[in-house]
Amino acid sequence: MTLEISQRQLDRRRFIAGVGTAALVISGAAILHPVEAWGLEVKNLRPETMLTLIKVSRDIYPHDRLADRYYAIAMKSWDEKSGSDPATRQLIEQGIATLDELAKSKYGVPYAEVGWESERVNLLRQLEDEAFFQKIRSDLIVSLYNQKEVWPLFGYEGESAAKGGYINRGFDDIAWL
C-alpha cells in the first residue's frame, strides 16, 4: 500500500495556513505530510476525521521510531470501508466527534491539538470499552504490525525459507552470554 501526492500539492501547501498538527495538514480533501512527502486522499470520511484517526492510532501504539506514514497506511482502510458501509462511517465520525468534545471540554482544543500524549491517552481511556475504540485497536494490531516495511525497524527479518533458513545465517550467533 502506498500513499501518493503530487509535487504541486506539496508546493501549494506551503502557502496554505492549514489546520492540523505540526506535521499533518489538510488541503482540500487530502491529508498532506510535507516532511515525509506523502499525501492521502480522503474520499468518504471528513479529512479532519482521518487526520485525528492517524493521531489516535499513534497514541494507541506509539513507536517513536515509526514515521507517520505507517500509521496513515494502517488507518486508510477505514476511509475505504466507510465508502461501502454507512454504519462504519457513522461509527468513526461519531467516535472522533466524541473524542473532540471530550478534548475541548477538558483542554479547550480538539483531540489532535492536545499537547501531551498522556493527556490524549486519558481521553482515549474514557472510550476504551466502546465499539469505536475496540474496532480501531483490534484492526490496528494487524494493520500496523503486519506491514512488512515496519518489520526491519524492529529488527524482525520475516521470510527465511527462500534464503535457506538460518542454518548458515546466524541461528546460534548470540555472543554475549
Partner 1 sequence: MAAKFDQNDDSVVVIIGSGAGGGTLANELAQKGVKVVLLEAGKRIEIEDFVNDEWASFAQLAWKDMRTTSGTWRVHHDFPNLPAWIVKAVGGSTVHWAGASLRLQEHEFKTKTTYGGLQGAHLLDWPVSLKELEPYYARAEDKMGVTRTNGIPGLPGNNNYKVLAAGAARVGYKEFNTGRMAINSQPRADRGSCQQIGFCFEGCKSGAKWSTLYTEIPKGEDTNKLEVRPQSHAARIEHDAAGKVTEVVYFDQAGQQQRQKARVVCVAGNSIETPRLLLLSESSRYPDGLANSSGQVGRNYMRHMTGSVYAVFDRPVRMWRGTTMAGVVADEARHDIKRGFVGGYEMETLSLGLPFIAAFLDPGAWGREFTTALDGYENMAGMWLVGEDMPQESNRVTLDGTAKDAFGLPVASVHFDDHPNDIAMRRHAHKAGAALYEAVGATRTFPTPPYPSTHNLGTCRMSENPRDGVCNKFGQTHDIKNLFISDGSQFTTGGAENPTLTIVTLAIRQAEYIADQMAKNAV
Q: Does 129 bind partner 1 (CB under 8 A)?
A: no
Segment near partner 1 (CB under 8 A), from 14-22, 92-100, 107-115, 166-174?
166-174
Determine if 108 is a binding residue for partner 1 (CB under 8 A): no
Of 17-25, 80-88, 91-99, 151-159, which part binds partner 1 (CB under 8 A)?
Answer: 151-159
Contact between 160 and partner 1 per CB under 8 A: yes
Q: For partner 1, which residue of 8, 14, 22, 173 counts as binding (CB under 8 A)?
A: 173
* Residue reference for cell 454507512: 86
The reply to whether 172 sits near partner 1 by the rule CB under 8 A is: yes
Stretch of residues binding partner 1 (CB under 8 A), selected from 21-29, 45-53, 61-69, 104-112: 61-69
106 binds partner 1 (CB under 8 A): no
In 3D space, the residue among 122, 1, 109 whose CA is nearest the CA of residue 59 turns out to be: 122
Task: Determine which residue in the list 18, 23, 61, 127 makes contact with partner 1, applying CB under 8 A.
Answer: 61
Nearest 10 degrees: Cα torsion 115, 118, 119, 125: 140
| Contact residues for 16 (Cβ-Cβ < 8 A; gap 6+) | 25, 27
Question: Which one, 22 or 162, has the nearer CB to partner 1?
Answer: 162
**Exposed, middle or buried by CB within 10 Å (0-12, 13-18, 19+), for 159?**
exposed
Which set of grid coordinates corresponds to residue 23?
506535521
Longest Cα–Cα distance of the chain, Å, equals 60
Nine cell digits for residue 140: 490496528
Stretches 3-11, 28-36, 67-75, 167-175: which one binds partner 1 (CB under 8 A)?
Answer: 167-175
**C-alpha to C-alpha distance for 27 and 120, rounded to whole angstroms:** 24
Strand duo 38-41 + 25-27: pairing: unpaired
Q: Which residues bind partner 1 (CB under 8 A)?
A: 59-63, 65, 117, 121, 137, 141-142, 144-146, 150-151, 154-162, 164-167, 169-174, 176-177
